[in-house]
Amino acid sequence: MELRTAGLTKQYGSKTAVKRLNVTLTNGVYGLLGANGAGKTTLMRLLCTVQRPTRGEITLDGQNIWRLGERYRELLGYLPQHFGYYPDFTALDFLLYIAALKGIDGKWAEGRSRELLEEVGLSGECRHRIKTFSGGMKQRLGIAQAMLNNPSILILDEPTTGLDPKERVRFRNLISAFSKDRIVILSTHIVSDIAFIAERVMMMKAGEIILLGRPDELTSQINGRVWECSVPTSRAERYAAFLNVSNLRNEENGNTVLRVISEQPPVAGAVRAQPNLEDLFLYYCKEESKP
């Protein structure tokens, strides 16, 4: 399967949320990163046909997705960033309701719903009303509804928001197992959520995809620009104010280890560290994340 965008552009008045994107997505898990307002949600809504582009097009194996219409949407699973739940429905009834809307056969839908509730860790609560759910539980129900029809293209907009560490691990395993021979795109602000499962990382900035590639390839681009240095904890804040710090770790000896993105050694005695995705994100998005 090949999902391709050509000159894809979405404008809201004079604001260009997605700018002339040309990308080709094949089977695998894509992690979509970008600061607030970078255009992640807009891109996902375009890919889901929730919104029409101002210019450009999206094709699946050469066919325009709007022209494919229902045939395309049958292949699609989508978790919007702000998902609307029905507070009085139980978790199971909610999934059955979504399945009915999607035209999924009732008998099959019940089995699939129970299986998914198990997989997202909600089987014990499947008869509870959604209004009694925590934020993380609702989010897991949202993930389950997106996967109901076994979609070949699964698009999840910030699926891990509100998940605790145990549920994050469960989510990663679920997606890894599900993603074989499918296109999975997930956006997140939590880089570690995709570091383990994304075969490809896409980084958006101001409506454009500024990086697309394997995590190890991308992080190797900033080899030599990530440093660790130990400074007295009392002075750590002062350093952090003018350095591009990706992490702070207090040590028991009264020192703090700063992880710094910098072309030159940030202080005397700094040692080079192995870059990770979080460093990469800060390197490319520092203007937005550090005003």
Ligand X SMILES: Nc1ncnc2c1ncn2[C@@H]1O[C@H](COP(=O)(O)OP(=O)(O)OP(=O)(O)O)[C@@H](O)[C@H]1O
> What are the strands of the beta sheet with 208-213, ordered from one edge?
76-79, 153-157, 183-187, 28-34, 200-205, 208-213
For residue 278, the minimal CB distance to ligand X (Å) is 16
For residue 227, the minimal CB distance to ligand X (Å) is 28
- Residue 38 contact, options ligand X, Mg ion, none, Cβ 5-8 Å cut-off depending on partner type: ligand X
- Residue 151 contact, options Mg ion, ligand X, none, Cβ 5-8 Å cut-off depending on partner type: none
- Residue 15 contact, options ligand X, Mg ion, none, Cβ 5-8 Å cut-off depending on partner type: ligand X
Query: How many whole angstroms separate alpha carbon 209 and alpha carbon 189?
Result: 16
Can you give the binding site for Mg ion, defined by CB under 5 A?
40-41, 81
For residue 155, the minimal CB distance to ligand X (Å) is 12
- Closest CB to ligand X among 138 and 259? 138
Can you give the binding site for ligand X, defined by CB under 6 A?
12, 15, 17, 34, 36-42, 81
Q: Nearest-CB residue to Mg ion?
A: 41
Query: How many whole angstroms separate alpha carbon 36 and alpha carbon 139?
Result: 20
- Closest CB to ligand X among 112 and 205? 205
Alpha-helical runs (H) found in 51-133 = 65-68, 70-73, 91-101, 106-119
CB-based contact 73:67 (threshold 8 Å): no
Q: Per the structure block, which two tokens stand in for 246?
A: 């990706």
- Closest CB to ligand X among 102 and 189? 189
CB atoms within 10 A of CB 138: 19
Q: Per the structure block, which two tokens stand in for 76?
A: 């699609």
- Closest CB to ligand X among 40 and 138? 40
For residue 260, the minimal CB distance to ligand X (Å) is 25
- Closest CB to ligand X among 37 and 162? 37
CA-closest candidate to residue 196, choices 175, 178, 172, 226: 172
